[in-house]
Amino acid sequence: MSKTGKSRAREKVDILILNADELVSLAGDNQKPRVGKQMRELGTIRNGGLAIKEGRIVAVGKSTDIAKAYRAENVISTNGKIVLPGFVDPHTHLIFAGSREDEFQMRVEGAYYMVILSSGGGILKTVKETRKASFEKLVDLSLKRLDVMLEHGTTTAEAKSGYGLTTRDELKILEVMKRLDQLHAVDVVPTFLGAHAIPLEFQSNPTDYVNLVVEDMIPKATEKGLAEYCDVFCEKGVFSLEQTRRILVAGKNYGLKPKIHADEISQLGGAELAAEIGATSAEHLLFSSDEGIKAMATKGVIAILLPAASFSLMGGRYADARKMIDFGVPIALGTDFNPSCWIENQQLVIAFACHFMRLTPAEAITATTINAAHAVDKAKEIGSLEAGKKADVVVLDVPNHKFLGYRFGVNLVDKVIKNGRLVVDREKQGETVFIREPD
Ligand code: FE
């Protein structure tokens, strides 16, 4: 820096990351999610570095410049590796008890999901087991899942309720989320999904269940500040467009931002409704109409695409991501982690998105970082590597970003830094730190 030979005193920081073959910053306009060609612009810095202090990124740039301006006791050299923002998973059903491997076998043998659901399996089986599970049991189960997510580079995860379907059990699940957010390094963004399925006891009078969601669950969940979003499984035979609108409007009146499980199994008009109601996101979108997709683009509704869900349903159908990108819809990608789609790993979601939806690795990276951060309304804090943002950083043991999607089925994570703390270090065995003290 100094041409006179005298070097200026270097500022002391907590962690320096230096010598990344590629530092994928995703720096740019954080006001809006990236659309169209912007999804390919990664803001990559070759031989990049960054400085972290008190949980925040203080500088990003060329490694040589960073090393001249800052010093730290903890210097992480990332030669031959790449550095990315921590992955954001904007769609999970994190909290449930039990498992459904028997149903998986039925699907392998050709059964359709809606048949499994109408025979008392699917969501309703998980509801039964989750109602029986205690608060502590659910916390325990979910912490292990968050460990796996963090180990695979996810530093923020949205979580949906929806396996309780009584006021008491939905509140229990939302309380579990709050506890997880306190206990675990991964930040948990809570979504109320009381309208996930019609519970058995309301099968003959579903309107009464919608009344319960609107008049009891939403007021109680928001009174305790337990949710940021309200979501509805809008689908033929589950919640109609009318019921979905009613629930999301009620949620909005209580300060919950709308999300919709839309057009997953049939074309019901969920995408259109998401645009009409000003939803933050519409999710799945396998069967959405062109009009619905265009309406989403006009209103800036984010499409959260979930290729792992398509993969696990084995129907061979995936959302038309290329068309959505052409129409100018911002795309985010999530796992849809749930007991019928058991995946905690956003790296594998990127691989699915590249192989089955023809997203380029760069588009898929944008969709799992900055656009996913927008999908949970946290893009001012996370989703890119820029001075002032939270220091949520992953180091991947690959030479460039095109290895994402290309090399799949193994964990590429070398290190994870969450809130400025090294929480996963796979280079050093036994260095993984998952749990933090409540703050
Ligand atoms: Fe889902």
Interval 1-25 mean pLDDT: 82
Could you tell me the distance, in angstroms and rounded to a whole number, from the CA of residue 93 to the centre of ligand 1? 6
Report pLDDT for 111. 82
Burial letters for 212-222: b for 16+ Cβ neighbours within 10 Å, e otherwise?
A: bbbeebbebbb
Q: Tell me the per-residue pLDDT of 126-167, one tens digit each, with 9 for 90 and over.
A: 999 999 999 999 999 999 999 999 999 999 999 999 999 999
Could you tell me the distance, in angstroms and rounded to a whole number, from the CA of residue 334 to the centre of ligand 1? 9
Last residue of a domain, one of 356, 375, 394: 375
CATH code, 258 = 3.20.20.140
Interval 13-41 mean pLDDT: 97
Report pLDDT for 438. 45
Could you tell me the distance, in angstroms and rounded to a whole number, from the CA of residue 120 to the centre of ligand 1? 18
Residue 6 predicted with pLDDT over 80: no
Confidence of residue 51 (pLDDT cuts 50, 70, 90): very high
In this structure, the answer to whether residues 210 and 336 fall within a common structural domain is: yes
Confidence of residue 439 (pLDDT cuts 50, 70, 90): very low
In this structure, the answer to whether residues 58 and 93 fall within a common structural domain is: no
Could you tell me the distance, in angstroms and rounded to a whole number, from the CA of residue 260 to the centre of ligand 1? 9
Lowest mean pLDDT among 18-27, 279-288, 427-436: 427-436
In this structure, the answer to whether residues 93 and 32 fall within a common structural domain is: no
Could you tell me the distance, in angstroms and rounded to a whole number, from the CA of residue 262 to the centre of ligand 1? 10
In this structure, the answer to whether residues 40 and 110 fall within a common structural domain is: no
Could you tell me the distance, in angstroms and rounded to a whole number, from the CA of residue 110 to the centre of ligand 1? 21
- What lies within 8 Å, CB to CB, of 136 at 6+ separation is none
Report pLDDT for 430. 59
Last residue of a domain, one of 335, 351, 375: 375
Residue 3 predicted with pLDDT over 50: no
In this structure, the answer to whether residues 268 and 153 fall within a common structural domain is: yes
In this structure, the answer to whether residues 291 and 302 fall within a common structural domain is: yes
Interval 27-37 mean pLDDT: 96
Could you tell me the distance, in angstroms and rounded to a whole number, from the CA of residue 308 to the centre of ligand 1? 11
Could you tell me the distance, in angstroms and rounded to a whole number, from the CA of residue 261 to the centre of ligand 1? 7
Q: Residue 400 burial by CB count (10 A; 0-12/13-18/19+): exposed, middle or buried? A: middle
Tell me, letter by letter, the H, E, C secondary structure of 211-278. HHHHHHHHHHHHHCCCCCEEEEEECCCCECHHHHHHHHHHHHHCCCEEEEEECCCCCCCHHHHHHHHC
Burial letters for 56-94: b for 16+ Cβ neighbours within 10 Å, e otherwise?
A: bbbbbbebeebbebbebeeebebeebbbbbbbbbbbbbb
In this structure, the answer to whether residues 343 and 391 fall within a common structural domain is: no
Could you tell me the distance, in angstroms and rounded to a whole number, from the CA of residue 196 to the centre of ligand 1? 9
Could you tell me the distance, in angstroms and rounded to a whole number, from the CA of residue 284 to the centre of ligand 1? 8
Could you tell me the distance, in angstroms and rounded to a whole number, from the CA of residue 164 to the centre of ligand 1? 15
Could you tell me the distance, in angstroms and rounded to a whole number, from the CA of residue 83 to the centre of ligand 1? 29
Report pLDDT for 109. 87
In this structure, the answer to whether residues 168 and 236 fall within a common structural domain is: yes
CB 338 within 8 A of CB 93: yes
CB 54 within 8 A of CB 420: yes
Between the CA of residue 208 and those of 54, 145, 196, 213, what are the distances in Å? 50, 34, 15, 9
How many folded domains does the chain comprise?
Answer: 2
Is 2 within a domain? Answer: no
Between the CA of residue 431 and those of 183, 194, 415, 422, 434, what are the distances in Å? 18, 39, 10, 9, 10
* Pairwise CA distance, residues 75 & 390, whole Å: 18
Residue 18 predicted with pLDDT over 50: yes
Confidence of residue 293 (pLDDT cuts 50, 70, 90): very high
Could you tell me the distance, in angstroms and rounded to a whole number, from the CA of residue 263 to the centre of ligand 1? 12
In this structure, the answer to whether residues 94 and 105 fall within a common structural domain is: yes
Could you tell me the distance, in angstroms and rounded to a whole number, from the CA of residue 336 to the centre of ligand 1? 5
In this structure, the answer to whether residues 308 and 231 fall within a common structural domain is: yes
Is 97 within a domain? Answer: yes
Interval 395-408 mean pLDDT: 98
Domain limits for position 220 = 88-375
Does the global pTM surpass 0.85? yes
Q: What percentage of residues in the chain have a pLDDT greater than 70?
A: 95
Is 241 within a domain? Answer: yes
Residue 112 predicted with pLDDT over 80: no
Region for 360 from its dihedrals, namely left if φ exceeds 0, alpha if ψ lies in -120 to 50, beta otherwise: beta
- The secondary structure element, H or E, covering residue 59 is strand 56-62
Interval 63-67 mean pLDDT: 98
Q: What is the mean pLDDT of the chain?
A: 94
Report pLDDT for 429. 66
Interval 391-417 mean pLDDT: 97
